[in-house]
Amino acid sequence: MTQRLLLSKHPFLSLPYSRRKGTSSGRPPRGATKAAAKDDDVNEETSSFSPGSNLLRTSTGGGGVGTYYQTGDVIKEEYVVKDLLGTGSYGETLLCEHLVGNVREEVALKVLPWESLKKMSAGGGANNDASPWKALDSFERESKVLQSIDYETIPKYVEHFEIEKGTKSGDLEFVLVQKVAKGKSLTELVESGTWRPSEPFVKKMLVQLLETVSYLETLRPPVWHRDITPNNVIVDMENETISLVDFGAVAESAVSGGMEMTRVGTSVGTFGYAAPEQLQGRVGKKSDQYGVGSTILFAMSGCPPSAFPSERLKIAFRGRVTIDDRDIERCLDILLEPLPEDRFRNAKEALELLERGAQRREEMKNNSTRNGSTSRQQDRYYDDEYYQEDDGYYDNRGQYYDPYDPYYGRTTFGAPGFSTTISSELESKRPNRRKKPANTKVQVYRNEDTKELAILIPPAGFTGNSAMSGGFAIAWNAFVATWTVGALASGGAFFALFSIPFWLAGGQMGKSFIDETFESAEISLTDTDFNIVTRTIGKKEYVNDSGSIEDVSGAEVIVESITNGIPNSIISMEVGAKSYKFGRGLKPVELDFVAGEINDFVDKR
């Protein structure tokens, strides 16, 4: 074997980019790791040119015999082949022993033969002539990026080179050498059926992944991994650390000309773990956040993201995965947002959310120890959605938040002058505890020692909204009455029957006006049971029910109806399969406050 030029100097790769146009797609190489992993599904839109596709497939040859090398073969006079880590469509990954003087260390060699590229490209597809160039482009880009990376959770780059075998012209092999990541892949651990990670350990993995992504973001130009999956996360149980491998799908933001999102030509990534924009052939600085979130969700649930139902294109994991740490739950909720603009601005911001949650609990613990209660926390209360500083409120993205703006973060549905009842699934949220809004008439009594919570919501009385609703209901019913009387007076009793649906709608409007104006509610929660009583005009007790506190899952703010384009929100307290609705007439900030108190009490039992 004769060593030749480095990959970056090879005449094939010095051709104009237009001749080897395109970027890598299909399953990226599995990276430098000793762990064997199973094949995972790949987006059907991708082609299979990747030089390292399925490179972590478990070797069936006990002696480590591969297609191109046998156990004991020596590469470049310093790498002794020991075993086969995996094979792919275009090449192999070998476990080798690196001979450096008297020091011997294990490394992973990714071998990409040019002959196999030509054979595979000749086997099918309209773009066969481009596939070898795409594969080499991906290989070259991975080598280049790994040279610039020096981080503890990413296996170190050793070198890359090319060798010529035999005398046939062009009989080349491209080789990339990396250190071996210690441990097993997250996929292998979860699918073993015996590994049950604790939440503190999962949080460590989440923090380390976010720190890794944050490091890649700080590079100039920033680097996007694009294929963060359980197969590419290697877990070292002994040291409780992780390694991120397989940079075969890597992209640099330089190719986008400084844009936050760039089109890469072909979709790259693993289905279920790739961000939605990647499946559209686009990638941006927030795409890796989605991979981190879906990978951690897999670690906590043991199920791939595709096994979860979706609500409004978002993975609906809440209530289906037991997560006691609310910081992890809130962080995953943002990481898994389908739209990039709804995720964190960067990975550092996600880390700050997790750190702020830990500081918040420590502060609450200190206040409780010092004062015997958490009442002081009301003066400066942090939660996962909003927190208070000296100059006002901010949300978890650092944006200014006005708690008294009824339209903050809300979507207006419906046309002006028309009232529409919509499903609570369209607009709902589960608020966290927050500071009590000023000038509210809602009374909250809470005793942490006896674990009791009492909430009194008085009637809202006549307000601008209720006056609008009442006026519209009167006008509607007056019009229907006039039409009905006219039909009856003209002897058209049959035609008068057509007014029945309009009378029903008018009756519902009148009921909504009465409830919004005169409804009051009393909610009592203890460590063992709950009791809810709502009253309205003409009925002493509209609802009077009680039951076990174990059945109460929390409270949500939902949109009950739309009037004149303005959403009318209420609180829905979920008790088993039944929902108790109250809080009509309250302002949005008051609804969030009441629901947050209920959720905090239920979560802390």
Q: Hey, how many other C-beta atoms are within 10 angstroms of the C-beta on 560?
A: 20
Beta strands in 516-592 (DSSP E): 520-525, 529-536, 539-548, 552-563, 566-575, 578-582
What angle (nearest 5°) sits at the alpha carbon of residue 200, between those of residues 199 and 202? Answer: 60
Residue carrying structure tokens 């980019």? 17
**Phi and psi (nearest 5°) for 5?**
-65, 155
**Neighbouring-strand partners of residue 529:** 548
At 597, list the tokens.
Answer: 């108190």
Pairing of strands 566-575, 428-429: unpaired
Residue 28 in contact with residue 246, Cβ under 8 Å?
yes
Amino acid letter at 429?
Answer: K
Please indicate if the annotation marks 119 as binding a ligand.
Answer: no
Beta bridge partners of 235: 184, 242
Integer Rg of the chain from CA: 31
Bridging pattern class, strands 392-395 and 452-457: unpaired
Are 348 and 213 in contact, with CB atoms under 8 Å apart?
Answer: no
* Tokens (6 digits) for 301: 């649930």
* pTM of full prediction above 0.85: no
Q: Rounded to the nearest 5°, which phi and psi values hold at 189?
A: -65, -45
Q: What is the pLDDT of residue 133?
A: 74
Residue 210 tokens, joined: 């976010």
Q: Residue 322 corresponds to which tokens in the numbers above?
A: 């037991």
Structural element, H or E, at residue 487 = helix 464-489
The confidence score (pLDDT) of residue 8 equals 35
pLDDT for res 112: 87
Tokens describing residue 303: 């199920």
Report the chain (605 residues): mean pLDDT per 10 consecutive residues.
37 32 34 40 33 34 64 91 78 87 87 78 49 76 89 93 70 89 92 91 97 94 91 93 84 45 54 88 90 96 92 89 90 94 93 82 59 38 44 46 39 35 48 84 89 89 69 84 84 79 81 75 92 75 79 88 70 89 86 91 82
The whole-number pLDDT of residue 452 equals 92
The DSSP H or E segment spanning 452 is strand 452-457
Compute the residue count for the chain: 605
Structure tokens at 43: 């987006």
